[in-house]
Amino acid sequence: MFNKNFVWGVATASYQIEGGAHEADKGLNVWDVGSATKGRIFEGHSGDVGCDHYHLFKEDVRLMKELGIQGYRFSINWARLIPEGTGKISEDGKRFYLELLEELKQAGIQPWVTLFHWDYPYALYQKGGWLNADSPKWFEEYAGVCAELFSPYVSHFILINEPQCFLGLGHSSGEHAPFLKLPDSEVMRAAHNVLLGCGLAEKKIRKICGNSVKIGTAQAYWPALPYTENDVELAREETFTCHKNFGSVNYYTDPLLLGHYPEDVLAWQKECGFAFPESDMEIIKSKFDFYGLNTYTGDRVTRENGKIVYPKPAPTVPRTDTRWTVHPDAMYYGPKFIWDRYHLPIVYTENGVALAEWKDLNGQINDDSRIDFLKRYLRELSRAAEEVEIDGYFYWSLIDNFEWAEGFSKKFGLIHVDYETRERTLKKSAYFFKKIIETNGEEIWK
């Protein structure tokens, strides 16, 4: 059972859907520049036009309304609003987001606004990006502008999306823009600046908005899962172990919410010669209203000869089109581990599935596997909701879109897009999601 104020929503991100990369005085971001670089993105795709949401947002809001969507999570393209990243505000950027927010208001849809979903202003990147000691202040200024301009409309601000990805994939392994492969000590510095930026932004938004908005982040969360009830504690411990990489949630949310880095991260930082003044932790420590989780699956773990191991999933375990396993109990154990550690209401800011699908000869997308995925994952989530507070679920994504390094080849949407005509078509799963919303989740048991 989901609580009676549960929010059923859908999520998107600016670079993945907007297009309009060169409209008006918009500044470039690292993805605009990166995706122009051959060889990095599947078959040379780019988000230059994308779903053309920049021009078609009214239609997209109309479709959301038709589906009964209650919350819409989208992100602001920093360089569309502030072309140089700091300083002058673009009139066109401001107009675009205010029109979108007005449209959502008319449709009765709550806006959940992500400030940073990876499209970092190129002008700031050229000054060192997150490695520059001023970068936390740049982010604070931007957050302040968004709060001043948009807070009359906004119910929730999500400061950042998935530091695990834009630091781990963007600054360490080089798979995502800005395609850097920095030494660990430098990535730690960038991560620390991101955390300082979040701490400053949280305080800035509170100062401007008081309690009129709720604040959180969205974390990429891939929990370790047990095979049996006997392995639950092992899975919990493994979920919060960093293993000298940037992928865990507690690397970021222990500092933000508990006021200190995890022990194993501190040891790793020391080993790499990365240090910071202790007073930074006071800036970083924040008061969030909810804990946003993006979960697609998790990895099963067990112990062999006293050591934690990740056995290869059996070939019978279903895989999605991104090859991720279908492990619905990620939505049961995952939120329980987070609740026990942080005691904050949980919101699923993303969950969804990519399928290899296409319009059939009758012009329909009969994505029964997506419906099955929703049932399986939401059944586990409803089980967790009996034990811990879960306040919302945002399906990723409203619409097929630019899936980063995979270009348009991976389709997560409830809505299909013809990338030549930009025509939208509701998939079968969209109608199923509509019924889920109408019944506050009861539809998943049918």
Q: How far apart are CA 240 and CA 225, in angstroms?
A: 12
CA–CA separation, 65 and 55 (whole Å): 18
Residue 59 parent element (H or E)? helix 53-67
* Shortest Å, Cβ 324 to ligand PNW: 7
Cβ-Cβ contacts under 8 Å for 218 (sequence gap 6 or more): 114, 158, 160, 161, 162, 292, 293, 294, 349, 350
Sketch the per residue contact string, 252 through 291, with ligand PNW: x for CB under 6 A, - otherwise: ----------------------------------------
Among the listed ranges 100-108, 158-166, 363-371, 379-387, the one in contact with ligand PNW (CB under 6 A) is: 158-166
State which of positions 335-354 bind ligand PNW (CB under 6 A): 350
Copy the structure tokens of residue 436. Answer: 């889920």
CA 4, CA 408: separation in Å to the nearest integer? 36
Min separation Cβ 402 and ligand PNW, Å: 8
The one-letter amino acid code at 193 reads: N
Among 143, 220, 301, 385, binds ligand PNW (CB under 6 A): 220
Residue 161 makes contact with ligand PNW by CB under 6 A: yes
Residue closer to ligand PNW (CB basis): 140 or 350 = 350
Contact segment (CB under 6 A) with ligand PNW among 22-30, 53-61, 159-167, 301-309 equals: 159-167
Kindly calculate the radius of gyration of the chain based on its CA atoms and give it in whole angstroms.
21
Q: Which is nearer to ligand PNW, 165 or 326 (CB)?
A: 165
Instruction: Show the 3-state SS of 252-285.
Output: HHHHHHHCCCCHHHHHHHHHHCCCCCCCHHHHHC
CB of 273 to ligand PNW, least distance (A): 28
The DSSP secondary structure of 138-162, one letter per residue, reads HHHHHHHHHHHHHTTT-SEEEEEE-
- Cα(413)–Cα(370) distance, integer angstroms: 10
Cβ closer to ligand PNW: 31 or 96? 31
Query: Phi and psi dihedrals of 199, rounded to 5?
Result: -60, -45
Closer CB to ligand PNW, residue 4 or residue 312? Answer: 312
Asked if 19 and 47 count as a contact pair (C-beta separation under 8 A), the reply is: yes
Beta bridge partners of 292: 218, 347
Tell me how far, at minimum, the Cβ of 222 lies from ligand PNW, in Å.
6
Q: Which of 2, 6, 10, 13 touches ligand PNW (CB under 6 A)? A: 13
Q: Which of 56, 63, 146, 165 is the binder for ligand PNW (CB under 6 A)?
A: 165
Catalytic (active site) residue 350 = yes
Count residues contacting ligand PNW (CB under 6 A)?
A: 12
Instruction: Supply the minimum distance, in Å, between the C-beta of residue 106 and ligand PNW.
Output: 27
Exactly one of 103, 140, 202, 350 is catalytic; name it.
Answer: 350
* Residue (307 or 323) nearer to ligand PNW, CB: 323
162 is an interface residue for ligand PNW by CB under 6 A: yes
- Of all residues in the shown chain, the one whose CB is closest to ligand PNW is 220
Please confirm, yes or no, whether 389 is among the known catalytic residues. no
Cβ atoms of 444 and 429 within 8 Å: the answer is: no
Among 73, 124, 102, 92, CA closest to 21:
92
Count CB-CB contacts under 10 A for residue 174. 14
Least distance from ligand PNW to the Cβ atom of residue 295, Å: 9
The region of 100-108, 161-169, 274-282, 415-423 touching ligand PNW under the rule CB under 6 A is: 161-169
Q: Which is nearer to ligand PNW, 332 or 395 (CB)?
A: 395
CB 34 within 8 A of CB 178: yes
Of the candidates 18, 141, 162, 403, the residue annotated as catalytic is: 162
Interactions with ligand PNW, residue window 351-410 (CB under 6 A): 396, 403
Residues 186, 47: Cα–Cα separation, whole Å: 28
Q: Which stretch binds ligand PNW (CB under 6 A): 105-113, 160-168, 282-290, 370-378?
A: 160-168
Q: In terms of CB distance, is 220 or 415 closer to ligand PNW?
A: 220
CB of 317 to ligand PNW, least distance (A): 17
DSSP 3-state helix, strand, coil percentages of the chain (rounded to 5)?
Answer: 45, 15, 40
Tokens of 443: 């539809």
So which residues are the catalytic ones?
A: 162, 350
Rule CB under 6 A: which residues touch ligand PNW? 13, 16, 161-162, 165, 220, 222, 294, 350, 396, 403, 412
